[in-house]
Amino acid sequence: MPGMFKKVMYKALGRNPWRESDPDDFILRLRSSVIGEGMLHSGNIYLMEKAVREMPVGGCLLEIGSYGGLSANLLTYFLQKYNRSEQLFCCDAWLYEGYHDAESGPTPWMDGRKDVLRTDFMNHIKNSFISSCRLLSAQTLPKAIHIDSDSFFESWAATNFETDVFGRQITLGGAISFAYIDGNHAYKYAKRDFENTDKYLLPGGFVLLDDSARHLSFGSVTLAIELCKHPQYELVLENPNFLFRKKPA
C-alpha cells in the first residue's frame, strides 16, 4: 500500500501507521516512570523487541545515548523476557543540547531558566539513569560508561578497562549483535557511530537508528536513506525509524 494512502487510512481508523508491540503492563508503566518519555517512539519498542528476539548469538547489545535510562531499561527487560544472555553496554557523554544552541550558541543555563545550570540538569539525568537501572535492571545492570561514543569505540578497539557509572571495573571490546544508535543525530556523528558499530557487528546483527524517520530533519535520516543502498545491509523495517540487518557473510 503506498505510504501516504496508508497514513491517511490509519488516521481515519484512529490508529498509528506503524507497528506496535503487544500490550505489556511493564512497558506501559516503564514509559511513565523513567525520564525520557518523549524520546522513545512506540515504533522503536516494536523494532527493539524484534531485534532482541532475532539477533545472532555471540555478541552484545550496544546503546549509544542513554539519557535517563528509558531505552536501556527497556532493552534489559527484553533480554530477560526472551531469555537472552547478551550483555548490554551503554555509552553517554551526558551532554546538554539546548534548543537554540545552533543559532545563538550554548549558554550555561537550562532552556527557559536562568537559575538551573545545564551541568546540574545533566547530573540529575545521569543520576536518574543510575537509580532507574538499579531499580528496574538490578539483575542485569547495563555496563554503562560516561564517555562520548568516539572515545568509547577507541576504548572498545583497545579492549580497555573502564569504570562504569555503577563503580564496576569492566572490560570493553568484542562482537556486537544489536546496536541502538541514539547519540548525536547530526550526520557526521551518526555516520561515525554506524561505521564504528559496523566493525564489530556480527552477520545477521541489527542496527536501529533513532530519529531516522523520513519526516524528520536530522542527519540520521540522511544516513538511513544512504544505508538503504549499502551492499552489506538490508532494510528490515521503517517503523517509522529505520532498522537494518547486516547480511550474512
Ligand X SMILES: C[S@@+](CC[C@H](N)C(=O)[O-])C[C@H]1O[C@@H](n2cnc3c(N)ncnc32)[C@H](O)[C@@H]1O
Residues binding ligand X (CB under 6 A): 36, 39-40, 64-67, 70-71, 91-95, 148-149, 182-184, 189
Please report how close the Cβ of residue 164 comes to ligand X at its closest, in angstroms: 14
> Taking every pair of C-alpha atoms in the chain, what is the biggest distance, in angstroms?
55
- Residue 132 parent element (H or E): helix 118-136
Instruction: For residue 142, give the nearest of 71, 189, 90 by alpha carbon.
Output: 90
Please report how close the Cβ of residue 63 comes to ligand X at its closest, in angstroms: 6
Nearer to ligand X, 8 or 224 (CB): 224
Any idea how long the chain is?
A: 249
Please report how close the Cβ of residue 77 comes to ligand X at its closest, in angstroms: 13
Please name the residue that has the C-alpha cell 544489536: 178
Q: For ligand X, which residue has the nearest CB?
A: 65
CB neighbour list of residue 166: distance below 8 Å, 6 or more residues apart: 130, 133, 134, 141, 144
Nearer to ligand X, 162 or 182 (CB): 182
Nearer to ligand X, 94 or 244 (CB): 94
Please report how close the Cβ of residue 135 comes to ligand X at its closest, in angstroms: 15
Measured between alpha carbons, how far is 231 from 194 in angstroms, rounded to an integer? 14
CA-angle at 187, arms to 55 and 2, nearest 5°: 65
- Residue 3 parent element (H or E): helix 3-12
Nearer to ligand X, 61 or 91 (CB): 91
Please report how close the Cβ of residue 220 comes to ligand X at its closest, in angstroms: 11
Nearer to ligand X, 128 or 222 (CB): 128
Nearer to ligand X, 179 or 201 (CB): 179
Measured between alpha carbons, how far is 8 from 27 in angstroms, rounded to an integer? 28
Please report how close the Cβ of residue 37 comes to ligand X at its closest, in angstroms: 9
Answer whether the bond into residue 240 is a cis peptide, omega within 30°: yes
